[in-house]
């Protein structure tokens, strides 16, 4: 049976990871892992291992990160979940960079790249090529770093991945500078700032739109509430007038009865 992971848990994990509350993020992931294991949802289990590894890597706990990435990789290979296999290779490569084991890092990045190319996963390729660029910068292989950063930029533009475009320009600026090409370094840095501002403005516009939506929704709710109160008020007035009318009819009938009795 497949299990849809609770969205609220994923939101809580994301939030706690962003603010650096890694212990809380791990707590939510391990709770989710328990659910997936109990349900027998192997792919979900593999994803949980992978995500737990990411949190450990964020903390620079590379031994723990490798342990969970390898758990995820084993399951992904058994399930023939190729995209997840590529993600695990990439994450293991990042872990080896953190450990300054560049030879192993390159090996896993190239494995990940091979799969991403086979399945035409452009989004994955952007991240992989950016990681390769970072790796070759560490190794002072600036020609290779430029090659992969430039390819990442091209792919990121194809899929309109603004954040990755920004990152690629930042890396290219650094590489151009190291290669002594200061003109292109400056131009790339300008592009980095342009996309950085674009992302900021998009986020700001999104927040403004959300606030406008909330305002309009609240305004509509207030209008509906006002209409309900007005309707209730009108109904009360109608009810009171009906009572008064009925009382007057009864009073008139009583007077008529009294007059008839006196005749």
Superfamily of domain 1-119: Tetratricopeptide repeat domain (1.25.40.10)
How confident is the model at residue 4, as a pLDDT? 47
- Do the beta carbons of residue 5 and residue 28 sit within 8 Å? no
Distance CA 96, CA 260 (A): 110
Give the C-alpha separation, 87 to 116, whole Å.
9
Question: Domain extents for the chain?
Answer: 1-119, 121-263
Residue 73's Cα: distance from chain center in Å?
Answer: 23
Query: Do the domains at 1-119 and 121-263 have one common CATH topology?
Result: yes
- Of 133, 131, 132, nearest to 146 by C-alpha is 133
Q: pLDDT at position 1, please?
A: 37
Per-position pLDDT tens, the chain of length 263: 344 444 455 555 555 565 567 788 888 889 889 988 998 999 999 999 999 999 999 999 999 999 999 999 999 999 999 999 999 999 999 999 999 999 999 999 999 999 999 999 999 999 999 999 999 999 999 999 999 999 999 999 999 888 889 989 999 999 999 999 989 888 888 888 888 776 555 554 455 455 555 546 655 666 666 666 666 666 666 666 665 666 566 655 665 566 666 65
Name the CATH superfamily for 121-263: Tetratricopeptide repeat domain (1.25.40.10)
Count of CA atoms in the C-beta half-sphere (13 A) of 252: 6
* Residue 123 near residue 161 (C-beta atoms within 8 A): yes
Question: What is residue 9's predicted lDDT score, i.e. its pLDDT?
Answer: 56
| The model's pTM | 0.68
* Look-up of token digits 């399930």: 79
pLDDT, residue 26, reads: 87
Compute the chain's Rg from CA coordinates.
33
């Amino acid at each position: 049976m497949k299990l849809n992971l609770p969205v609220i848990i994923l939101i809580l994990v994301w939030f706690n990871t962003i603010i650096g509350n890694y212990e809380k993020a791990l707590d939510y992931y391990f709770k989710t892992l328990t659910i997936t294991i109990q349900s027998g949802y192997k792919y979900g289990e593999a994803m949980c291992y992978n995500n737990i590894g990411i949190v450990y890597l964020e903390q620079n706990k590379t031994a723990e990160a490798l342990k969970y990435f390898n758990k995820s990789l084993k399951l992904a290979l058994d399930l023939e979940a190729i995209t997840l296999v590529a993600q695990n290779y990439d994450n293991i490569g990042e872990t080896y960079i953190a450990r300054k084991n560049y030879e192993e890092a390159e090996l896993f990045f190239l494995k990940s790249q091979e799969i991403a190319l086979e399945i035409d996963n452009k989004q994955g390729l952007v991240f992989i090529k950016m990681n390769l660029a970072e790796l070759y910068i560490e190794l002072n292989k600036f020609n290779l770093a430029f090659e992969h950063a430039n390819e990442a930029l091209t792919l990121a533009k194809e899929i309109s991945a603004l954040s990755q475009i920004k990152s690629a320009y930042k890396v290219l600026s650094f590489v151009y500078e190291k290669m002594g090409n200061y003109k292109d370094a400056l131009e790339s840095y300008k592009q980095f700032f342009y996309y950085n501002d674009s992302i900021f403005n998009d986020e700001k516009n999104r927040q403004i739109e959300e606030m406008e939506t909330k305002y309009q929704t609240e305004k509509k709710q207030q209008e509906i509430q006002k209409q309900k109160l007005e309707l209730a008020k009108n109904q009360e007035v109608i009810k009171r007038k009906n009572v008064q009318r009925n009382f007057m009819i009864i009073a008139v009938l009583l007077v008529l009865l009294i007059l008839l009795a006196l005749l």
